[in-house]
């Protein structure tokens, strides 16, 4: 029996008062760089075709949809850098990035749909949706904005810190990144509260 392929839809958005913002993040797992969240309110008409969970899209597809969404949607982005991640821990840093993203929309959403099973401590009417980026079109759009934005940041940082291969691994803990971390130690953009980075710091 063939597997059923599901695509994000507006089913959840239609159950809420408008405007509805979808929120997702990128960068909880990497050893370096910021965590980035995005909030997206899709237009009533002219939603770009092809929006999906960012993990299912190629970098080129994400870049194209990022630019299309920038032209037609209301977007807010929140960024929390590595040093603040170390102070807050990654969970609370992610919650802060999501809060900053919604605040950056420039208007008050009537409802917020958040990917995952936790909500930031805010006063907005909100719903957490597990695997929301595969179900909700607004959250999927936010996942594209967050992922493309963070990847662009890490590629730019790779120019100043070329030893770690961030142009390809974006700060995630692949073998080449871990080997470079052990050989050269952490950069200023590494998250020292993450175990592999802390160990590399101790080994210097």
C-alpha pair distances (Å), 121 with each of 22, 99, 126, 131, 136: 16, 8, 10, 20, 22
pLDDT in tens, 94-112: 999 999 999 999 999 999 9
C-alpha pair distances (Å), 114 with each of 52, 77, 93, 118, 153: 15, 14, 15, 8, 23
For the residues 144-160, what does the mean pLDDT come to?
A: 97
pLDDT in tens, 169-192: 999 999 999 999 999 999 999 999
Instruction: Write down the pLDDT at residue 204.
Output: 53
pTM for the full predicted model = 0.95
- Find the angle CA(12)-CA(132)-CA(31) to the nearest 5 degrees: 155
Fold of 13-203: Nucleotidyltransferase; domain 5 (3.30.420)
User: Following DSSP, what letter does each residue of 137-177 receive, concatenated?
Assistant: HHHHHHHHHHHHHHHHHHHHHHHH-GGG-HHHHTT---HHH
**pLDDT, the chain, mean:** 95
Residue 25 marked in a binding site: yes
Instruction: Write down the pLDDT at residue 200.
Output: 80
The percentage of the chain sitting over the pLDDT mark of 90, rounded to a whole number, equals 93
Length of the chain: 204
pLDDT at residue 2 is higher than 50: no
Residue 83 marked in a binding site: no
Residue 151 marked in a binding site: no
Instruction: Write down the pLDDT at residue 151.
Output: 98
Instruction: Write down the pLDDT at residue 120.
Output: 96
Token duo for residue 130: 């597990």
pLDDT in tens, 37-75: 999 999 999 999 999 999 999 999 999 999 999 999 999
């Amino acid at each position: 029996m063939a597997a059923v392929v599901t695509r994000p839809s507006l089913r959840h958005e239609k159950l809420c008062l408008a405007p509805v913002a979808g929120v997702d993040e990128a960068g909880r797992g990497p050893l370096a760089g910021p965590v980035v969240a995005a909030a997206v309110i899709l237009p009533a008409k002219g939603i770009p075709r092809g929006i999906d969970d960012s993990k299912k899209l190629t970098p080129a597809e994400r870049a194209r949809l990022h630019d299309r969404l920038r032209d037609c949607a209301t977007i807010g982005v929140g960024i929390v850098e590595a040093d603040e991640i170390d102070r807050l821990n990654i969970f609370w840093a992610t919650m802060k990035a999501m809060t900053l993203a919604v605040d950056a929309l420039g208007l008050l959403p009537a409802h917020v749909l958040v990917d995952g099973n936790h909500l930031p401590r805010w006063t907005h009417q909100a719903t957490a949706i597990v695997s929301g980026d595969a179900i909700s079109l607004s959250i999927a759009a936010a996942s594209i904005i967050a992922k493309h934005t963070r990847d662009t940041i890490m590629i730019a940082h790779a120019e100043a810190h070329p030893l770690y291969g961030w142009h390809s691994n974006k700060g995630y803990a692949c073998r080449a990144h871990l080997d470079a971390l052990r050989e050269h130690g952490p950069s200023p953009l590494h998250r020292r509260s993450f175990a592999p980075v802390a160990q590399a710091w101790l080994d210097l």
